[in-house]
Amino acid sequence: MEKSKRRYEIDMTEGALLPKILLFSVPLIISSVLQLLFNAADIVVVGQFSGNETLGANCVAAIGSTGSLINLILSMFMGLSVGVNVLAARYFAGRQSKEMSETVHTTIALALFGGIAIGAVGFLVSRPLLELMGSPEEVIGLSALYMKIYFIGMPVNLLYNFGAAILRAIGDTRRPLYFLMLAGIINVVLNLAFVMGLGLNVAGVALATIISQAISALLIIRALMRTEDIYRLDIKKIAINADKAIRIARVGLPAGFQGTIFSFSNVLIQSSINEFGSVAMAGSAAGANLEGFVYMAMNAVYQACVSFTSQNVGAGKSERIGKVLRTCLLLVSFVGLVMGNAFYLLGDKLVSVYTAEPATIQYGVERMSIICTFYFLCGCMDVICGSLRGMGYSTVPMIVSIIGACGLRIVWILTIFRHFHTLKILYISYPVTWTVTAAVHLICYYIIKKKVIAVIDKRKAIKE
């Protein structure tokens, strides 16, 4: 029973780091790639089987145009899952049963109440926000319908993501992968049934999404309820503990705010790309979509850095904090360099999956020649940020990231890009700002690490 109970857990505080970080990261990478593929399947189904070519095109445009808006509304709450991960990992490694139990039950309560609140707000503001964005008349009705149904399912969306954050904190990334695979297959089957069988187009895709999310959420809750370890969930104990909610927010809200600001800066980047016309926009969009696969792979290493750092802080293993960062930096650099350059070298073939237009393919490859080849720098920036968050410091990396990766990029657009008005100069802003931000993060890391080690040493001295 003990062996079965712990087969999904990873002891991040003992033994060689690289094999364990790989064991943690690989299921996350697979999960992220599957999620991207399942999202692509949604668009393919609604585009191909909505009845006629014009309706299909409008449905694809409707779903595609809602992504940035949904992410903007979700960013703040999704940032809280980082706080959940940090707090749960620390208490789990320290075997602090009471604190871990309070964290788990507060997390589930926040997911439920937050999901209801954000779902209601999203449902009410969907169409007004789409109107502010200038959504075309032939698309706005479909977009609003998709968003309203999507936001109805927000409680189960947050339940899955917050519950998965608890499992990641104990080193379990495999069960969320299994649950996602099952939910993704159900999603595709329901897409076909609702769109082809019932003719529901965007409404069918949205319904399939929330049903599959509900299944994955139920599987996460079931996993938490069935364990006998200190992260066990008891439905009767679900309530918000003020102290734990504040601690989660202290780490999570800065991360969420950072994501929101990044969304705004990406809007400015996109508006600059739009100046070069629809062909450049299409090529850039295809390149950005392909970059998403590289980014999600590197993001898995970032999440590993957060969890491993937090567990070792909780266990008082200060000597492993630096080892975790060095291992994750080497791994994310390898992943970023190999995948990024492979995607660039195969760029014309990969972009041609999205379009057969030679000019569009050229624009896509031009973007990838700069961003993909230097993408490992973004991974390094995120991993150092993850180490800071794992040590419990989230406001400092938020400020550095906003000023460096967002503010500096805006200055670049308003100055250098205006003087040398080419897409290549615009894209160069990415590796420049990644490098500067990573360097400042690293300085902050060494300063904060000394403080954290001093606290750990003091705690050990008191116990002795």
pLDDT value at position 2? 41
In a domain, 157, yes or no: yes
Cα(324)–Cα(452) distance, integer angstroms = 15
Distance CA 418, CA 405 (A): 19
Going by the DSSP 8-state scheme, the letter that residue 394 receives in this structure is -
Alpha-carbon gap, residue 374 to 387, rounded angstroms? 21
- Whole-number percent of the chain with pLDDT over 90: 28
Average pLDDT taken over every residue of the chain: 83
Mean pLDDT, to the nearest integer, of 231-237? Answer: 90
SS3 171: coil
Give the residue from 273, 263, 270 showing the smallest Cα distance to 401: 263
Quote the tokens at residue 224: 């938490």
pLDDT band at 3 (very low <50, low <70, confident <90, very high): very low
From the list 335, 305, 341, 299, the residue with the least C-alpha distance to 320 is 305
Amino acid 189: pLDDT:
87
For residue 416, being part of any structural domain is answered with yes
* Confidence band, pLDDT 50/70/90 cuts, at residue 1: very low
* pLDDT computed for residue 464 by the predictor: 60
- Asked if residue 245 belongs to a domain, the reply is no
* 132 and 217 together in one domain: yes
Q: What angle do CA 437, 252, 101 make, to 5 degrees?
A: 140
Q: Given this model, what pLDDT does residue 146 score?
A: 82
Do 226 and 274 lie in one domain? The reply is: no
Mean pLDDT, rounded, for 20-44: 79
pLDDT at 278 over 80: no
Domain interval for residue 434: 251-464
Looking at the fold, whether 128 and 165 belong to one and the same domain comes out as yes
Give the position of tokens 């080419």.
422
Same domain for 343 and 376, yes or no, is yes
Alpha-carbon gap, residue 107 to 220, rounded angstroms: 13
Q: What is the DSSP string of 99-137?
A: HHHHHHHHHHHHHHHHHHHHHHHHHHHHHHHHHHTT--H
Share of the chain above pLDDT 70, in %: 86
- Give this prediction's pTM: 0.81
Question: Domain end: 240, 272, 293, which one?
Answer: 240
Alpha-carbon distance of 139 to 340, in angstroms, equals 34
191, two tokens: 């897409």
Phi/psi at 187 (nearest 5 deg)? -60, -45
18 in a domain, yes or no? no
Helices and strands in the chain, H and E counts: 18, 0
pLDDT above 50 (res 27): yes
Mean pLDDT over residues 171-179, rounded? Answer: 86
Do 329 and 221 belong together in one domain? no
Within a domain: 15: no
Residue 4's pLDDT band (boundaries 50, 70, 90)?
very low
Sign of CA dihedral 13, 16, 20, 21: positive
Q: pLDDT class for 50, splitting at 50, 70, 90?
A: low
Indicate if 255 and 236 belong to the same structural domain.
Answer: no
User: Are 173 and 236 found together in one domain?
Assistant: yes
* Closest C-alpha among 43, 306, 53, 74 to residue 173: 306
CA dist., res. 157 & res. 74, Å (int)? 10
Shared domain check, 275 and 170: no
| Segment 402-445, tens digit of pLDDT | 888 778 888 888 899 888 888 899 899 999 999 999 999 999 99
Taking only the tens place, the pLDDT of each residue in 177-230 is 889 889 888 888 888 888 777 877 778 888 888 898 899 999 999 999 988 888
Distance between CA atoms of 122 and 147, rounded to whole angstroms? 8
* DSSP state string for 302-331: HHHHHHHHHHHHHTT-GGGHHHHHHHHHHH
Same domain, 366 and 459: yes
Band (65; pLDDT cuts 50, 70, 90): low
CA-to-CA distance for 320 and 170, rounded, in angstroms? 17
**pLDDT of 448 higher than 90:** yes
pLDDT of 337 strictly over 90: yes
Q: Tell whether 17 is covered by a domain.
A: no
Maximum separation of any 2 CA atoms in the chain, in Å: 75
Q: What is the torsional sign of CA 203, 204, 206, 211?
A: positive
**183, 210, 240 - which closes a domain:** 240
173 domain residue, yes or no = yes
381 has a pLDDT exceeding 70: yes
Please give the residue that has the higher pLDDT: either 136 or 159: 159
Residues 210 and 310 in one domain: no
**Residue 369: is its pLDDT beyond 80?**
yes
Specify the pLDDT at position 68.
62
Which pLDDT does position 54 carry in this prediction? 57
pLDDT at res. 229: 85
- Asked if residue 63 lies in contact with residue 202, where contact means CB atoms within 8 angstroms, the answer is yes
Cα 355 to Cα 362: distance, rounded to the nearest angstrom: 11
More confident residue, 324 or 78: 324
Coarse DSSP helix, strand, coil percentages of the chain, rounded to the nearest 5 percent:
85, 0, 15
Q: What is the mean pLDDT of residues 167-177?
A: 86
- 349 and 233 in one domain? no
Cβ neighbors of 193 (< 8 A, separation 6 or more) are 204, 208
Residue 439 burial (10 A CB sphere; 0-12, 13-18, 19+): middle
Per-residue confidence (pLDDT) for residue 135, from 0 to 100: 62
| b/e burial code for range 289-298 (CB count within 10 A of at least 16 → b) | bbbbbbbbbb
Q: Is residue 213 part of a domain?
A: yes
Task: Tell me the C-alpha distance between 280 and 285, whole Å.
Answer: 8
Average pLDDT over every residue of 82-106: 87
Higher pLDDT, 3 or 145: 145
Kindly report, residue by residue over 346-365, the tens digit of the pLDDT.
988 888 876 677 887 888 88
> Looking at the structure, do residues 278 and 213 belong to the same domain, yes or no?
no
Residue 331 has a pLDDT of 95
Identify which of 140, 213, 144 has the alpha carbon closest to the alpha carbon of residue 180: 213
DSSP structure class, residue 393: -
CB-based contact 112:77 (threshold 8 Å): no
Domain boundary among 240, 270, 304: 240
Q: Specify the pLDDT at position 51.
A: 59
State how many domains the chain has. Answer: 2
